[in-house]
């Protein structure tokens, strides 16, 4: 199973990098839109996986491979922290507060929405 987790992680990392570049290229870098979209969409997907797993719609192996491997590599707390510090270092405190607040609130809401959608 370790190999499958690693492969799912590679897929998540490649998708995160590609999607992040695409979003940042389209919307600019004044606000970290790429990481914001990735973390919220990853929270939604993890909520879906959790809901499916809790209802026994997917086996434990699928939950672990996609939840740990893919979502673990796709979402990124370290980049979130780095970008928050970057905004603060640039004196963009309002954007930093908006980034942190909206990321946490919408990330948790997306997780709940994923679980709700599987009910």
Binding site for Na(+), residues? 72, 75
The tokens 């990481």 sit on which residue? 35
Integer angstrom CA distances of residue 64 from 20, 24, 35, 52, 75: 24, 30, 23, 12, 15
The SS3 call for residue 80 is helix
Residues of each annotated binding site? 72, 75
Rg (CA), the chain: 15
Residues 6 or more apart whose CB falls under 8 angstroms from that of 100 comprise 84
């Amino acid at each position: 199973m370790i190999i499958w987790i690693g492969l799912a992680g590679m897929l998540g990392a490649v998708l995160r990098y590609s999607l992040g570049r695409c979003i940042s290229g389209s919307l600019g870098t004044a606000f970290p839109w790429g990481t914001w979209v990735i973390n919220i969409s990853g929270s939604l997907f993890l909520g879906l996986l959790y809901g499916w797993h809790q209802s026994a719609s997917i086996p434990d192996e699928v939950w672990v491979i996609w939840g740990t491997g893919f979502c673990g590599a796709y979402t990124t707390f370290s980049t979130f922290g780095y970008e928050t510090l970057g905004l603060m270092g640039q004196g963009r405190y309002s954007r930093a507060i908006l980034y942190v607040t909206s990321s946490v609130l919408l990330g948790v809401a997306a997780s709940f929405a994923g679980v709700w959608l599987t009910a």
